Structure 1
Amino acid sequence: MQLSVKGKQIDVGDALRQHVQTQLSEIVGKFFSESLDAQVTFSREAHMFRADITVHAGRGIVLQSNASAVEPYPAFDQAAERMAERLRRHKNRLKKHHQEPQAAEAVIAHAFVLNAEQADEAEVGNDHPLVVAEMTTPIETLTVSQAVMRLDFGDLPALMFRNKAHGGLNMIYRRADNNIGWVDPSDIAKA
């Protein structure tokens, strides 16, 4: 496993780096024998330490977890426990969906990043957000359960996908109450 341990405005010592290497190798080794890529970032938030773990578990699958604590070791340990749970669920879903043939088709779409805080002086008084980045993004063909898995594992706020059942575009998103919402415009067209 390739591991990168970084600190944002803090020094990550050798002991913490070794602790991360040992723990994460053990956790990832339980579920995956092949080599994975992982990044661990420590940062300081007021009086707390935050540990962010990102594991690339295959093509297009990114698992993320984070935790905060007063010390960096407990912050990492809590984030590692969450990552172990996500890896376990991912492995179980891979076993469950392994018999289904996967569609390798993806549609390219434009993605826009909007930022309302940065405004030009010419647009003073205009509260519309500005487009600060534009890029193409693949829209994959997935089942709803696969899309929920990607949303959950990637810790994403929203995910657009082409529904495998009918070929239409769908979106799932994380609601304020931490449940998942599903937008399927094809049902509206039929009504």
Structure 2
Amino acid sequence: MNLRISGKHMDIGDAFRTRINDRVGEAIGKYFDRGFAGHVTVIKSGSRYSADCMIRLDSGASLQATGDAQDPTLAFEAAADRLETRLRRYKRRLKSHNSGNGNGELTDIAYTVMAPLADDDEEIPEDFAPAIVAESTMTLKTMSVASAVIELDTKD
């Protein structure tokens, strides 16, 4: 968890900084186990405050949320609520894409693991047969690239 908290045209106190850190950590911890990095900027413009949250999850997803209010705490709370909504939608999208992977067809694929060749500059004889280290047959799902990426994102 690496969260940078800054203020523009205002000073962020320790209590507010702790509140921001806890709220963002709780929101992300509610939906994801892995870490995240990002920044929260609270900006004062006239009599209004705005909070801008930009979070990058370890899975590679970037989430952004903003909030405006007359009070910096309320502006951040609005941004945190939007961030939590985006996290919930992202998690739901991952689950819905993961539940319908591929077309249900399974394919048997045989593969062989061979021992590495020596790094000598000698020529390989014609009757050379490398030693087979392992041989196995697996059942793999047929799926699109997008479905495979989403499945890898949801695996721990």
Partner of residue 18, structure 2:
18
Assess, with a 3 A threshold, how the Cα gap between structure 1 residues 15 and 94 changes in structure 2: closer, same or farther. same
Structure 1 residue 59 displacement after superposition: 4.9
Task: Give the secondary-structure state (helix, strand or coil) at the position aligned to 1:41.
Answer: strand
Gaps of 5+ in 2: 103-142, 151-156
Determine whether 1:53 maps to 2:66.
Answer: no
Counting only pairs closer than 5 Å after superposition, residues 66-81 of structure 1 correspond to structure 2 as 66-81=66-81
Partner of residue 138, structure 1:
none
Counting only pairs closer than 5 Å after superposition, residues 1-191 of structure 1 correspond to structure 2 as 1-98=1-98, 99=101, 101=143, 103=145
> Contact conserved, 2:35 with 2:58, CA < 8 A, in 1?
no
Structure 1 residue 102 displacement after superposition: 5.8
Distance in 2 between the 1:68 and 1:84 partners?
16
Aligned partner letter, 1:12: I
Distance in 2 between the 1:95 and 1:25 partners?
22
Assess, with a 3 A threshold, how the Cα gap between structure 1 residues 32 and 59 changes in structure 2: closer, same or farther. closer
Distance in 1 between the 2:81 and 2:44 partners?
20
Superposition RMSD in Å: 2.1
Aligned partner letter, 1:47: S
Distance in 1 between the 2:3 and 2:144 partners?
29
TM-score (ref. length: structure 2): 0.62
> Contact conserved, 2:68 with 2:75, CA < 8 A, in 1?
yes
Greater relative contact order: 1 or 2 (C-alpha under 8 angstroms, separation 6 or more)? 2
Task: Give the secondary-structure state (helix, strand or coil) at the position aligned to 2:95.
Answer: helix
Task: Give the secondary-structure state (helix, strand or coil) at the position aligned to 2:7.
Answer: strand
Structure 1 residue 58 displacement after superposition: 4.0
Aligned residues: 106
> Contact conserved, 2:10 with 2:43, CA < 8 A, in 1?
yes
The structure with the larger Rg is 2
% same residue: 34
Assess, with a 3 A threshold, how the Cα gap between structure 1 residues 102 and 17 changes in structure 2: closer, same or farther. farther
Distance in 2 between the 1:102 and 1:8 partners?
45
Gaps of 5+ in 1: 104-141, 147-191
